[in-house]
Structure 1
Amino acid sequence: MSSVTISRVQCEHYQNPLGIEEREPRLSWKFQGDVSDWIQSAYELRIVRQPIGEEQKAEETYRIESSQSVLVQWPSSPLQSQESAHIQVRSYDQQNSPTAWSDIDIEAGLDPQDWNAVPVTCEKQDAARPRKPFRTRGVFEAPAKFSKARLYITALGLYEAELNGKRIGDEYLAPGWTSYHHHLVYRTFDVSETIKSGQENIIGAWVGEGWYAGRLAFRGGKRNNYGERPALIAQVVIDGKVVAATGPEWEWKYGAIVNSEIQNGEIFDSNLQDDWTDNRSEDDWQRAETLSTPQAQLQASQSPPVREVDRITPIEIITTPSGKTVIDFGQNFAGIVRILSEPPSSGELIIRHAEVLEHGELGVRPLRHAKATERIILGGKVAGYEPKFTSHGFRYIEITGWPDVKLTDVAGIVTHSAMERTGHFTCSHPLINKLHQNVVWSTIGNTISIPTDCPQRDERLGWTGDIQVFSPTFNYLFDSSGFLKSWLKDVYVDQLNLDGNVPVTVPDILDDFHNQRFAVWGDVTVLTPLDHYTAFGDIDILKEQYASGALWLEKGVVRASTGLWNPDQYQLSDWLAPKAPPDAPGDAPTDTMLVADAYLIHTTRTLSRIAAIIGKEEDAKMYAEQVTSMTEAFYAEYITPNGRALSDTQTALALLLQFDILPESPSRDYPAGWASRLSTLVEKDNWKVATGFAGTPIILHALAKADLLHHAYRMLQARDCPSWLSPVLLGATTIWERWDSMLADGTINPGEMTSFNHYALGSVASFLHSVVGGLSPVAPGWKEISIQPRPGGTITSASTSFQSPYGLVSCEWKIQGDKLEVDVQVPPNTTAKVVLPGVSEEIGSGKRHYSVSWEKDPRFPPKGTETAYGATPSENWEP
């Protein structure tokens, strides 16, 4: 028996493979064990299937000679609707020694024809106003004996389900936000233990307007983006028989939730509570109204549901200069407040949320039109209350109506799509550790159902540019595989509605932007699927999204005769560059068309590479030829005969270096010239970040690639604003939208774009993981790994780890005198290339230690150049 074990078996990208969509699901398994050079030579599967309503089938056994252990093909016939299967897996090493068996249970979801439920709703409400949440319920008799019971449920809007007085599941804001005209996701719950056998059962749910019908977006927003009447769609199936399904026999009633909006918060009347699914009271219940079956495809989602992932105890009660009571949770986060104790028995309790204090008072101006307020009418039981159908981004709450409130009376409930945390980083520099921690918190706060720009103000939209630049960092920190795969489906269907243009936000609700076609943002269709494939090894994401990427390049991009972008097309490009004024965030110093065209060349080259990977050789050749032609046009437009970029900025040079924008037969060493000029510019800028949306994610990588690692570390450790550490030094606990979202005097930046929780600038963490920490994938899914830490600055130790699809990979290093001590771990069934001073070797799995000679980079810290008329170079950096 092998000493390597299989630590986990997974089906597709599901965390819980109950009610899966795929009928031929792929399987993966991770390994653990410190065995040198372990490679899988074969694997064996045992499958016992249980079709619904049929006898258990005989065991199927398969042995496959292959080293593949990530997303292997389903070997059996397709699963039927509701069919379950028990699967056992074991692997063999090259000596044919097997691991122990590991197992997983999976179950297929419903085929479309198996849905009996129709949407049920309450009376018609005023479509111009917030819809009041309602409850709807049905009654059914359960058989005296049964094997299994399932609840299949979704909503046009949001729901929270109950069965016989017990909440079903632990989700928030279910079923989440999708492009409701095309995709409507449902969940499957095992309710076998909750159903009363041989008795009457009451199944029901609260239903709120949510993203479906509620007000969304900025500039006052718009209601009814998908429909005007929230509704529930649900059915209970016992041993293959539908025993309850939403329909005309269901009933509805309002309750204690008077109002609940995503952006504005909730109004709750504690006097109106009752046990509505544990009591068959007929008072005031009315016959439900039914709606037509939605045109959207009902499907199971691989994205994890929104759940409570942390609970925060507040740290301080503050009395503001105006006499208000404010509670500080010590951490900016996204979620809600849970009331733990009973407040006064009369009056109203009002809770307002905000991310910061401005001169001692709650700083609500950045919320714009979002009220972010809970209003609780007192008189009934309140302890345990939390809002159902809203979410806020906040660190502080202002409480009115509870004079003697204590820290133990409330808790902060952190919610997001509960992805597994996979990546970690720490180093000897405390402020950089805090920076990394802030990146993690911003990722959590901006992954509530979709990848958003911010969780607090009247926006909270799935901006395509934000996730495009952030996805390499995101994919390292969390297992975002199912989350992004589900979201990318909506990118494509919303793109089809716009004849190839990619919406700036997905799901798409910003009609005002439909005529705009933005590089960087639209390039998400090509670059993010490849990032996904690189991180998780899922070739299907490339196949499924290929049409989306091709559509963007063929019909989305508005071209000039050269094949580059038409210069008349407005571009966001290096959005929010530090030198852009607060009232003009797009007024960046880098030529917007240079940014757009550099991205177009990079994206086209990437799609050529994707086409080759999935076997579309003719397309690969076509796009490669386009790259050659566009590069020639790019040089004619932007590069002087002596190799200078006409847009002389950090962003322009970083793009040229990082994207390798070179002619086929270069007449000179362009990268050397660009590196020299970039070195001059960062010195001239006193190592302040001078890049916006396009340049910031790559500037440190570009410096490192150009052998300017001393400048990269100097910029990373800079204290002057704008820099990564300047918000940290001002007390930031998340990544800000602007480097100076809060000014040094405690005043909130006057700009409209002022959020204190935006992950885009946190893309710097990819540099921490891959360059400082030294880990990056070489082959898709981390089958081959690069281990190459590049210490610099004053950092004397660092440790990073990643739970890859194959198992844990890690690198830990420290400088001790003239030695660099490095410990690495490579998971079974993978290989790695280790590059250290004096070492370059290929290794297999296992743990290894290296001790190599070390010399400090004599170029650090770079001193800059003093001139007679220029400013003195900054020495303001954090050692």
Structure 2
Amino acid sequence: MTLDALGNAHFITARADRHVAPRFWIEADLDHPRSDVVGAVLRATAHGVYEARIDGRPVSDSVLDPGWTAYEWRLPYQEHDVRDLVATGSGAVRLDLVLGNGWYRGDLAFAGANANYGDVISVAAVLEVTYRDGSVQRIITDANWSAAASDTTRNSLYNGQTIDARRRHVTAPPLEVLEVDVERGRLVPQSGPPVLRHETFQPTAIWTSPTGRTLVDFGQNLVGWLRLTVKGPEGTQIEIRHAEVLEDGELGTRPLRAAEARDVFILSGGVDTFEPTLTFHGFRYVEVRGWPGDLSPDSLEAVVVHSEMRRTGHFSCSEPLVNQLIHNSVWGQKGNFLSVPTDCPQRDERLGWTGDLAAYAASACFQFDSADFLDNWLADLLAETAHSPDRAVPLVVPDALKYATFPEDFEMPPWTATAVWGDAAIWVPQALWTAYGDADRLASHYPAMKLHLASVQRYISPTGLWDLGHQLGDWLDPDAPPDQPADAKADPHVVATTCLYRSATFAAEVAGIIGESEDATRWTQLAERTRAAFNEHYVDGGIIKSDCATVYALAIAFGVLDDEDRGRAGDRLAAIVRDAGHRVTTGFAGTPFVTWALSETGHVDDAYALLLEKECPSWLYPVTMGATTVWERWDSMLPDGTINPGEMTSFNHYALGAVADWIYQVVGGIRPAAAGYTRVRIQPVPGPGITWAETSYECRHGMISAAWHTDDGGFTLDVALPDGLHAEIVLPDGRVEQVVGGVHRLTTAH
């Protein structure tokens, strides 16, 4: 990428109220007739979000461009092929740019942090037109452009958007256009997928609440906005409030905290169409005020918005509640993979918490092709880490929290190396490597791995344990008080030390793959020291310090235990799970691995019972309560239908849905036997409560499918593989078959 990707285009802004979305435009004469245009490209980016139109027509289907990145070091520009727009029509070409606050001036974060990257938003663009004779004309943004307030008088990602249709029919007073100095060395071509509109939902129910308010249910907790066409008296104001749940028959807005999630549409008196594309909301329900006349299901629709991702994994089984759990995981990923992988999409937060993704990355890569999306995010992670205090991985990426202005009575955790959260620098590339096998990208992620491990080493005590510094531990342990989410049963240093072992082990493997032999030795030695220290200080006869499900799950799943202790630990974990009535007792750290640890130590029945439990806390409890996405807390909604009293309660949070990875690989049976599924292991492990399962995954080599069922006569497995793909099929009776491509049926007797 050259530094003049935008040519001589200047970043421009307008002197306007910060809530207004200014509109910039120019009408430029072309050097040749439009019929002579053989190519036209618009390159643009912004501090904020922009929408571009040529002669009144959108230049692309993408929204919220350029998305959210670590703006200080990476500002992506988009390249739109606009030949058809420029080549048609006649006379001067008109280019319009609408500029919104987006994430750059989004008053981001929580507890009144109001984090912003700057006070001034700006946009830059160059329209490059190529003619039949080979000549090139460039139309660039500069102070000569015109500007005025658009029909958007208020725009905020958290609070919503106000659109005044009356402004579409009048000439707004001009605004002063100013050129802004932006460091052009941070410009990079867009590498992440665009944010697009996807499905639309019609209302499933419209009714009047106990207090007389009009409520609408779209049947699915989703992320996006409403689109509507309406006619009413000029000046009529329609207000739309959004929420994920109902409480006491009314819109349940308390979990939104300070986010207003409120769109306002002001009618022109004619037929008006509204679509608030400078914001987004997480919602299933809306409250509508001020609608002229009767509100019918045809009056409005919900538009689903997220980054472009291709669905690659599917699963279904004999238990409908598990199918709904997988549905909820898929929709949680849709809602939270919007430009960056967020924790939640609805309240005053929506940040790229690294711990959430560390837990969920493997599930994400099975459900959707997440390669480009996560690779782009990891580029931000590297930039943020390299410039951070202690060169430690931030808790959120991009790290808007460094601009937060929290009130004095609010305490953020110290910014040091943090297990699980910091380990995202290694675990997310591990998930990508496992799913896609891209060695070049793996190498590009390695510098962040080194930074993370180097930052951790400063907090390793002479014992060899990672027991110094601050930890978030097993976040949201279900036994923790609602207002103390870090108050877990698992000793945070036991958690941290197991995580260090896993990270050092994979970093050593990566170093070997990319030819960094000295580093491979260094990280191998770190892993060996960590393993020895863990077993010396934390393990006694298979009993692990703090003796709870999470510490056993991590120690077993990460391979930190000696063989003899591993068996004992598996038995102890199973006993803990049974003693809890197969209700979940783990938080963010332990939940992705507890079923793995059970099934890998011979306790398959307990793993299935844990998965299929319906009482709270469990994976299926939210499903029985009508959830259509994964919740942040096991009890985000209490059995009586009231919302958890904690200040941190989301109904769309994918981290605890990380059990999906185990479901796909163990219940479904499709497992990678080598990076990128160049070899496959088909090994479904049946268990009580599920009598059949069907799973498919479209890897880089084609579609893999496995379908099994049990009956009185035994077990039947049907497998379909892409041509040439080597697979090892392991049956429940221990029989192993080696096959290459094609369709196969295998059976076993009881």
| TM-score bracket for this pair, using the shorter chain length | over 0.9
Cα distance in structure 2, aligned partners of 1:493 and 1:688:
40
Tell me whether 1:660 sits opposite 2:559 in the alignment. yes
TM-score normalised by the chain length of structure 1: 0.81
Output aligned runs, 1:420-459, within 5 Å.
420-459=310-349
Residue type matched to 1:323 in 2? G
TM-superposed CA distance for 1:657, in Å, is 0.7
Change (3 A) 1:159 1:606: same
Residue type matched to 1:647 in 2? S
TM-superposed CA distance for 1:238, in Å, is 1.6
- What corresponds to 2:737 in structure 1? 841
TM-superposed CA distance for 1:367, in Å, is 0.2
Contact map agreement 1:464 1:522 (CA 8 A) in 2: yes
Counterpart secondary structure, 1:148? strand
Cα distance in structure 2, aligned partners of 1:370 and 1:654:
37
- What corresponds to 2:127 in structure 1? 236
Cα distance in structure 1, aligned partners of 2:668 and 2:199:
27
Output aligned runs, 1:636-647, within 5 Å.
636-640=536-540, 642-647=541-546
TM-superposed CA distance for 1:378, in Å, is 2.4
Counterpart secondary structure, 1:603? helix
Output aligned runs, 1:541-560, within 5 Å.
541-560=441-460
The partner residue of 2:709 within 803, 814, 820 is 814
Cα distance in structure 1, aligned partners of 2:177 and 2:507:
50
Contact map agreement 2:41 2:127 (CA 8 A) in 1: yes
- What corresponds to 2:86 in structure 1? 195
- What corresponds to 1:707 in structure 2? 602
Cα distance in structure 2, aligned partners of 1:316 and 1:113:
50
User: Which segments of 5 or more consecutive residues in structure 2 lack a partner in the other structure?
Assistant: 403-411
**Alpha-carbon displacement from aligned partner over 1:361-386 (angstroms, at most 9, x marks no partner):** 11000000100001122234464211
Tell me whether 1:268 sits opposite 2:152 in the alignment. no
Cα distance in structure 1, aligned partners of 2:173 and 2:245:
44
Cα distance in structure 1, aligned partners of 2:270 and 2:102:
25
The partner residue of 2:581 within 686, 699, 706 is 686
Residue type matched to 2:209 in 1? T
User: Which segments of 5 or more consecutive residues in structure 1 lack a partner in the other structure?
Assistant: 1-20, 22-109, 276-280, 856-879
Residue type matched to 1:192 in 2? R
The partner residue of 1:620 within 511, 515, 520 is 520
**Alpha-carbon displacement from aligned partner over 1:579-638 (angstroms, at most 9, x marks no partner):** 001011110011111001110111111111111111111111111111121222212221
The partner residue of 2:374 within 471, 484, 488 is 484
Contact map agreement 1:306 1:416 (CA 8 A) in 2: yes
- What corresponds to 1:4 in structure 2? none
Cα distance in structure 1, aligned partners of 2:393 and 2:465:
15
Contact map agreement 1:252 1:285 (CA 8 A) in 2: yes
Tell me whether 1:294 sits opposite 2:183 in the alignment. yes
TM-superposed CA distance for 1:321, in Å, is 0.9
The partner residue of 2:289 within 400, 407, 410 is 400
- What corresponds to 1:852 in structure 2? 748
TM-superposed CA distance for 1:819, in Å, is 2.8
Cα distance in structure 1, aligned partners of 2:325 and 2:67:
30
Contact map agreement 1:184 1:296 (CA 8 A) in 2: no
Counterpart secondary structure, 1:116? coil
Residue type matched to 1:388 in 2? T
Question: Larger helix proportion, structure 1 or 2?
Answer: 2
Contact map agreement 1:811 1:824 (CA 8 A) in 2: yes
- What corresponds to 2:424 in structure 1? 524
Cα distance in structure 1, aligned partners of 2:78 and 2:120:
21
Residue type matched to 2:273 in 1? G
Aligned length: 730
Counterpart secondary structure, 1:795? coil
Counterpart secondary structure, 1:193? helix
The partner residue of 1:782 within 656, 661, 677 is 677
Cα distance in structure 2, aligned partners of 1:296 and 1:208:
23
Output aligned runs, 1:23-34, within 5 Å.
none
286-295 vs 435-444, which deviates more?
A: 286-295
- What corresponds to 1:166 in structure 2? 57
TM-superposed CA distance for 1:296, in Å, is 5.1
Residue type matched to 2:742 in 1? G
Tell me whether 1:462 sits opposite 2:352 in the alignment. yes
Cα distance in structure 2, aligned partners of 1:363 and 1:319:
15
Cα distance in structure 2, aligned partners of 1:257 and 1:296:
32
Cα distance in structure 2, aligned partners of 1:838 and 1:113:
59
- What corresponds to 2:484 in structure 1? 584
Tell me whether 1:672 sits opposite 2:561 in the alignment. no
Counterpart secondary structure, 1:813? strand
- What corresponds to 2:104 in structure 1? 212
- What corresponds to 2:643 in structure 1? 748
TM-superposed CA distance for 1:346, in Å, is 4.1
The partner residue of 2:274 within 373, 377, 385 is 385
TM-superposed CA distance for 1:566, in Å, is 5.3
TM-superposed CA distance for 1:196, in Å, is 4.5
Contact map agreement 1:517 1:557 (CA 8 A) in 2: no
Cα distance in structure 1, aligned partners of 2:12 and 2:459:
48
TM-superposed CA distance for 1:817, in Å, is 2.4
Change (3 A) 1:566 1:771: closer
- What corresponds to 1:348 in structure 2? 237
Cα distance in structure 1, aligned partners of 2:9 and 2:507:
42
The partner residue of 1:502 within 380, 393, 400 is 393
Contact map agreement 2:692 2:710 (CA 8 A) in 1: yes
Cα distance in structure 1, aligned partners of 2:108 and 2:270:
32
Output aligned runs, 1:369-380, within 5 Å.
369-380=258-269
Cα distance in structure 2, aligned partners of 1:576 and 1:747:
19
Cα distance in structure 1, aligned partners of 2:264 and 2:442:
47
Change (3 A) 1:140 1:513: farther
Cα distance in structure 2, aligned partners of 1:497 and 1:708:
45
The partner residue of 2:22 within 123, 129, 134 is 134
Residue type matched to 1:416 in 2? H
Residue type matched to 1:305 in 2? P
Contact map agreement 1:180 1:296 (CA 8 A) in 2: no
Contact map agreement 2:417 2:452 (CA 8 A) in 1: no
TM-superposed CA distance for 1:114, in Å, is 5.9
588-597 vs 821-830, which deviates more?
A: 821-830
Change (3 A) 1:384 1:595: same
Cα distance in structure 2, aligned partners of 1:343 and 1:553:
61
Cα distance in structure 1, aligned partners of 2:743 and 2:664:
19
TM-score normalised by the chain length of structure 2: 0.95
**Alpha-carbon displacement from aligned partner over 1:340-366 (angstroms, at most 9, x marks no partner):** 333554431111000000010110000
Counterpart secondary structure, 2:306? strand
- What corresponds to 2:301 in structure 1? 411
Where do 4+ consecutive residues of structure 1 move more than 6 Å?
Answer: none
- What corresponds to 1:150 in structure 2? 41
Contact map agreement 2:6 2:43 (CA 8 A) in 1: no
TM-superposed CA distance for 1:472, in Å, is 0.3
Output aligned runs, 1:817-836, within 5 Å.
817-836=712-731
840-849 vs 517-526, which deviates more?
A: 840-849
TM-superposed CA distance for 1:113, in Å, is 5.8
Residue type matched to 1:139 in 2? E
